[in-house]
Chains A and B, each alone.
Chain A
Amino acid sequence: MWVLRLIAKNAARHKLRTLLTVLGLAVAIVAFGVITTALNAWNTQIELIPPDRLVTRHAVSYTFSLPISYKDRIEQVPGVERVAYANWFGGLYQNDPKNFFANYAIGPENGIELYPEFVVPEDQKRAYYEDRTGCIAGQKIVDKFGWKIGDVIRLTGQIYPGDWDFTLRGIYRGAEVGTDETSLIFHWKYLDERIGQMYPGWSGQAGWFVVKIADPSASAAVCAAIDDLFRNSSAQTLTETEKAFTIGFISGLDAIIVMLKVISYLILGVIFLVLANTMLMSARERINEYTLLKTLGFGSFRVAGLIVGESLIIAALGGTIGILLTFPAADALGRAMSTFITVMAVKSGTLIMAMVFALLVGILSAVVPTIRALRISIVEGLRHIG
């Protein structure tokens, strides 16, 4: 017991220094937690995509569209349950790129049924079906701009020219914590009719098809069967699971993801330096005391325990405060960067990892001071002046 008390007293001896060290540790743990959470956000989104959904798009790239008539042919493929189609609209709210959020047209009317992860109250869904210019938006984006049911939302088209007004008929919530709640969805038919009047060649086109299959384990065979259908047509298709499609899309950012990881480990380096420095200074000042303890007959093990214990207490304290601060920090960053990261949910795994790293840093920081304290001979130690 007395050992613990001595450790605690030692840690509290230089209150300012200990406080600063704890603060430094906390800050670094927050930075580590926030970066890891941001990186996880992308992974979480991918994990939540149902495995029974495929995406069929133009083989050249996703800026090319496919004729809507492909829907009926895809539906004939064995193993396919339902088919919907969608177009990326890319409209800007208040014509400001800073307000970016995903918005797309989905058809046929009940195409949204293919997305069970978007939970919409039944009455709102019905209101949406009945309004040609209606739209459904995620809770987060609705909160961000303060919209209410019945509001008219004007988007300025970047791909489809002009100003487009949509009436908010429904608000969806995510079925899971990590589900994206920042999208806006509207009727494909409205898009098609209006664009058809402006540019007749543009009507009857789908950006991609969403294909729900009966058996996820047969997805590879169904993908191949769909692509075979259009092998010799003017618009060839590329079908893959929605998961694979999203991974491919995000892999464009690989280089940046790797860089963020490197930074998060450099941060751990900084905490190590701060804590190691504190322990080094404390141990240097207390060499006399440690030697005195040794003179009294305390073994090296006990003395080492004093130093390592103190280092661990400071590390644990800093780690805990850092973990508590990670939540508000992740939340703030998530809001500031909602364009790129739709969900910032702190995972318990991240917190455990942060704590393990903090404690590891605590042990490592005690190594050099401990060796110094143990190596010094009693005579030399007693003579030592801070």
Chain B
Amino acid sequence: MKIPLKYSIRNLLARRLTTAFTVFGITLVVFVFAGVLMLSQGLKQTLVSSGSPENAVVIRAGSGSEMQSFVSREQAAVIRSLPDIALDSDGQPLVTGELVIILNKDRRTTAKMANVTVRGVGARSFALRPNVKIIEGRNFEPGKTEMIAGRKAAEFFKGCGPGEKFDFGNTQWTVVGLFQAEGSAFETELWGDVDMVMPAAGRQVYSSMLFRMKQPETFEIMRDRIKADPRMTVDVKREKQYYAEQTQSTSTFIEALGLTVTIIFSLGAIIGAMITMYGAVANRTREIATMRALGFLRRNILAVFLIEAIVISAVGGIIGLAGASFLQLMTISTMNWDTFSEITFNFRLSPGIAIGTMLFALSMGILGGFLPAVRAARIKIVEALRAE
């Protein structure tokens, strides 16, 4: 016969303060564990959502990012004439050359400098990135020293808001509009006409080429064919994959440091649970022996104590996760190590993280509760009943 669940819960309530301390310990660990994963997830989602599965990016072989890349005029011409490029409704190929540089800018909040990404774009860049939408002001006019700012760039950097002006390359640039891009990394960028940005930056060639694929599913074949051309010392990547790679170092850093620390101090919470459960067993030695004498089996007793530990950790897990979900309201602005430029993102809670965090919490409870439960189950009836 099983011992009712109510018995376990009542026991926890009997020593409220001890239970509360243990629950709160697990809550803190869960909060940090979830926070670290949510931070890394937010960063990844921001960058991955920047890329479209139908687009391909061409950068110089081995350069890793647009920042260090350049595509020669000859290479650009070859790419423009590729038969794999999808056409728009007017029958024009959807391909563009872009220039990406970084500018030092003061942040609005602190006087400290950070790097804002400036992207020189072509007329087709907007068709290739349908998630970019002007929400205030107007688009830049080709041939003018005008820029539009991503809404996060406008918020964080001095001189980047609509109507504001800044100097770059011996000319003055005016921000004429604000755009949003569904939370992707473009929102921390400034966009201008590539033919105007190039002379200002003193560059003669594009950093990268971007095009829409006619058949995204045969990407690998197309890539190998392009790279087979000896003139093409380039890397061809799906845009989605390209952006996923742009966060590798930074997200590895966050995860490695964050998870090392959480695992170390989850030991603290496990030990806390263990102390509590050993205490519970010691206090109830006679009670346990009585139950055993009444005919309850060892495994029933084991279950009672394990359930108690699991309840503690589940409550701690839920409270910690609930607390962590409030982190989603926070916006983080930091340097992305892979591109040396500023990136802004939010903590993101995904179902996977929620499940992983709860499993983590429960395993803390099980690890903390198992040994005490075994001790409880192995109590010798006669001795325990006789003990004072």
Residues in A lying within 8 Å of B, measured CB to CB? 14, 16-17, 20-21, 23-24, 27-28, 30-31, 34-35, 38, 59-64, 90, 95, 97, 100, 156-159, 161, 201, 234-235, 238, 248, 251-256, 259-260, 263, 266-267, 269-271, 273-274, 276-278, 280-281, 284-285, 329, 333, 336-337, 339-340, 368, 386
Contacts and interface: CB of A to CB of B under 8 A. Distances in A.
Contacts of A337: 253, 256-257
A115 to B, nearest CB: 23
B83 interface: no
Contacts of B60: 161
A14 B62 CA distance: 62
Contacts of B191: none
Contact of A17 (B248, B256, B275, B342): B275
27 contacts: A21-B271, A24-B271, A24-B275, A38-B257, A60-B168, A61-B102, A63-B67, A64-B202, A100-B249, A158-B62, A161-B62, A234-B170, A251-B112, A251-B114, A252-B115, A254-B112, A259-B39, A270-B28, A277-B22, A277-B25, A277-B272, A277-B276, A278-B275, A280-B18, A280-B21, A284-B15, A339-B253
B61 interface: yes
Contact of B114 (A31, A100, A252): A252
Contacts of B113: 248, 251
A161 B233 contact: yes
A24 B275 CA distance: 10
B168 A273 contact: no
Contacts of B169: 60
A61 B115 CA distance: 8
B256 A274 contact: no
B268 A271 contact: yes
A255 B22 CA distance: 30
Given A60-B168, A64-B202, A253-B334, A270 B21 contact: no
B265 to A, nearest CB: 5
Contacts of A157: 62
Interface in B156-184: 168-170
A288 B279 CA distance: 17
Contact of A270 (B68, B257, B269): B269
B264 A339 contact: no
A314 B30 CA distance: 26
Interface of B: 15, 17-18, 21-22, 24-25, 28-29, 31-32, 35, 39, 60-64, 67-68, 101-104, 110, 112-115, 168-170, 201-202, 204, 233, 248-249, 253-254, 256-258, 260-261, 264-265, 267-269, 271-272, 274-276, 278-279, 282-283, 332-335, 337, 340, 342
Contacts of B269: 270, 274
Contacts of B35: 259
Given A24-B267, A24-B268, 9 more contacts: A27-B271, A61-B115, A62-B340, A64-B201, A234-B170, A260-B257, A270-B272, A284-B15, A386-B283
A266 B34 CA distance: 14
Contacts of A251: 110, 112-114
A27 B257 contact: no
B335 A273 contact: no
Nearest to A332: B260
Nearest to B248: A97
B207 to A, nearest CB: 11
Given A60-B168, A270-B269, A273-B25, A281 B18 contact: yes
Contacts of B333: 255
Contacts of B253: 256, 337, 339-340
Contact of B64 (A16, A158, A253, A269): A158
Contacts of B276: 277, 281
B28 A35 contact: no
B278 A269 contact: no
Contacts of B17: 280, 368
A95 B235 CA distance: 15
Contact of A159 (B61, B68, B112, B248): B68
Contacts of A63: 67, 101-102, 340
A301 B370 CA distance: 39
A271 B29 CA distance: 11
B272 A24 contact: yes
A16 B334 CA distance: 45
Contact of B279 (A266, A281, A329): A281
Q: Which of A161, A252, A259 has the most CB of B within 10 A?
A: A252
Contacts of A273: 21-22, 24-25, 28, 272
B94 to A, nearest CB: 28
A259 to B, nearest CB: 8
* A-B complex: 8 closest residue pairs judged by Cβ atoms: A252-B335, A24-B271, A273-B25, A255-B334, A277-B21, A31-B264, A274-B272, A270-B268
Contacts of B104: 59-62, 238
Contact of A277 (B32, B102, B258, B275): B275
B112 A270 contact: no
Given A27-B267, A60-B169, A263 B272 contact: no
Nearest to B22: A277
A60 B101 CA distance: 10
Contacts of A234: 170, 202
Contacts of B103: 60-61
Contacts of B265: 27-28, 31, 267, 270
A263 B115 contact: no
A17 B265 CA distance: 18
Contacts of A336: 256, 260
A35 B268 contact: no
Given A158-B63, A263-B32, A253 B248 contact: no
A34 B28 contact: no
